[in-house]
Amino acid sequence: MHAVDRGPEPPGLKPIRKRLTPRWVAYYRDGKGRKPTDSKWRDFHENVSKVFCSLCAYCEDNCKGDVEHFRPKSKFPEKVYEWTNWVLACPTCNTKKGRRWPTGGYVDPCAQALSAQPESHFDFDTKTGEIIVQTGQTIARRRKADKTITDLGLNTYHHLKARIGWLHLVSKALQGRTADDPANKEIVRLVASRESRLSSITRTYLDEQGYTYDEG
Ligand SMILES: [Zn+2]
């Protein structure tokens, strides 16, 4: 999980938000009317996918994904058509998260403040492939990060297998050449890029191996 800057909302969203949000609020907050069936956020899949570089906002793996509501529709109906509430999520993470919203919420992949971003909450164990809570956190921050990992199943077997398998490939591609070897420059640039899958654990791995890179 890494920080993503969504940028400004796409043109055309504002009138849709104004038109459709009241029904969601009426149903979920005020208990009035029928359950809304619109899902116009799907029309913005391409915009969201581009912002997230076709990577799941939570597990960071390649995905076609779906537009996911970071704050669930049923609990935050006023944010159903808020650009700032949309992330790209793979089917696995999307299903795991569902309607959940614990007290204190989850770590926001699009948080603006540095202290609220994933990089200020998580670390990785490159031996096991696990995402772990950064040391030195307050109890509240630790709970939030831990809840994010647990509820989203970010350390389930298939994620660990994917991360370890990927690091193995990266290590093979680097062929044990030293960090300053020009032959490794392009590979390091590619795998460290936030546009590349699983780049957070990859950067941790590169740090450990003494490589320098531009996060670009
Ligand atoms: Zn995912």
Provide the Cα torsion 96, 97, 99, 104; round to 10°: 140
How far apart are the CA of 107 and the centre of ligand 1, in A? 14
Rounded Cα distance between 51 and 49, Å, is: 6
Q: Would the pLDDT of 131 be above 90?
A: yes
Q: Would the pLDDT of 176 be above 80?
A: no
How far apart are the CA of 138 and the centre of ligand 1, in A? 26
Backbone angles phi, psi at 133, to 5 degrees: -80, 130
Q: Would the pLDDT of 79 be above 80?
A: yes
Percent of the chain past pLDDT 90, that is, above it, reads 87
Could you identify the residue written with the tokens 């969601």?
24
Taking the whole predicted model, whether its pTM rises above 0.85 is answered as yes
How far apart are the CA of 4 and the centre of ligand 1, in A? 15
How far apart are the CA of 30 and the centre of ligand 1, in A? 32
What residues are neighbours of ligand 1 (ion), with CB under 5 Å? 56, 58-59, 90, 93
Rounded Cα distance between 153 and 122, Å, is: 14
How far apart are the CA of 56 and the centre of ligand 1, in A? 5
How far apart are the CA of 16 and the centre of ligand 1, in A? 27
Average pLDDT of the chain?
Answer: 94
